[in-house]
Structure 1
Amino acid sequence: MRGSVMGTTVTLAAGALLTAAMTTASASPPTAAARTDAPRPALVDCTWHTNVRPTDFILACGDGNSRLMGLHWKQWSPDAATATGVNMVNDCTPYCAAGHFHGYPVTVRLQDPKPWKKQPGVRHYTLMTLTYARGRPDGFQQVMTYPLWD
């Protein structure tokens, strides 16, 4: 009987300590970091998937003749994202199926995050700016800004 009383006492004491610990933890106010962490916006791709810090991204969804590759993200915040990579563009000469892809070093900037119409709880970047470091595809300016699909 003595062993039974001792076991019950230990179990009750452990339960009381666990309850006290849980009550203290749940009553604690959130830390400053938890209060200020806003959800990070995503980049929505051609197949309506959300991506955070993708390494590749297709710009020309219809034919894949322009894509970003080897993206290295330096920043991905609630306001903007910045990466460097290569824009691979098909010259479509003499026509796209017979054309060749050429790489152009580029800096990518994502901005203007807004709620996504398909999933309003998800924020996504709505503007992409490409800045070509050296060389650029025919007909492109050194800085090109595109609206992103919603």
Structure 2
Amino acid sequence: MRGQVISTAVALCFAASLTAAAAAPPSAARSAPEPAARAARPATGPVLVDCFWHARVRPANFMLACGDGNSRLASLRWTTWGRDSAKAQGVNWVNDCKPYCAAGRFHAYSVVVRLDHAKPWKKHPRLRHYTRMTLVYNTDRPRSFPRTVVYPLWD
């Protein structure tokens, strides 16, 4: 019986992560340039590397929790995107995972996003990418989160 409960919980978590990925607004898919367009328009500054190892410049949305989709940034409005740093305002959608993540609810938190520490990207050494993201919650924030959260970004 216990094995069946665990199997059901794992299946629900998997289904929730698929639903979260599929629930991305259609505009997010349209905002990504086609591969040929990306090649024709080289990045002038550092890029932000997403969960699928794609280089993005000023993305409107960004997945923070690549494995389960329980934290993502949306409605990003970039005010700067430069050689040393970038800054945007947007919304961090975070799953409260109560009573567990598959049954949890997503909550929206207003954030300022800062990117910095640009370094050559291992996958494409001629291209620099931001390696650190800082989120500053404007007002409300997820329970147990500090006002400022710093994330190292993948290479």
Relative to the length of structure 2, the TM-score reads: 0.72
- Partner residue of 2:83? 78
Distance 1:75 1:103 in 2: 23
- Deviation for aligned residue 1:138: 1.3
The question of 1:132 aligning with 2:141 is answered no
Q: How does 1:59-138 map to 2 (within 5 A)?
A: 59-138=64-143
Q: How many pairs are equivalent?
A: 113
Larger radius of gyration: 1
Distance 2:117 2:48 in 1: 11
Identity of aligned residues (%): 62
Alignment partner of 2:46 out of 41, 54, 59: 41
- Extract structure 1 runs of 4+ deviating beyond 6 A: none
Q: How does 1:21-32 map to 2 (within 5 A)?
A: none
SS in structure 1 opposite 2:102? helix
Stretches of structure 1 that go unaligned for 5 or more consecutive residues are 1-37
- Partner residue of 1:33? none
- Deviation for aligned residue 1:39: 3.1
**RMSD, matched Cα:** 1.0
Relative to the length of structure 1, the TM-score reads: 0.74
Q: Render the CA deviation track for 1:38-95: whole Å, top value 9, x for unaligned.
A: 9300000000000000000000000000000000000000110000000000000000
Distance 1:39 1:89 in 2: 32
SS in structure 1 opposite 2:45? coil
Stretches of structure 2 that go unaligned for 5 or more consecutive residues are 1-42
